Amino acid sequence: MNKISISNLKAHLSATLKEVRMGKKIVVIDRNIPIAEIIPYPQKQKKEGIVIRPPLRTIKQPLQRIKTRLDIDITSLLIEERQRERV
pLDDT score for 11: 96
Could you tell me if residue 82 is inside a domain? no
**Based on the structure, what is the number of domains in the chain?**
1
Domain range enclosing 11:
2-38
* Conformational region of residue 31, where left means phi above 0, alpha means psi within -120 to 50, and beta covers everything else: left
Could you tell me if residue 16 is inside a domain? yes
Could you tell me if residue 47 is inside a domain? no
CATH at residue 29: 3.40.1620
Could you tell me if residue 29 is inside a domain? yes
Per-residue pLDDT of 1-55, as tens digits, reads: 799 999 999 999 999 999 999 999 999 999 999 999 999 988 776 667 777 788 7
* 3-state secondary structure (DSSP) of residue 18: helix
Could you tell me if residue 77 is inside a domain? no
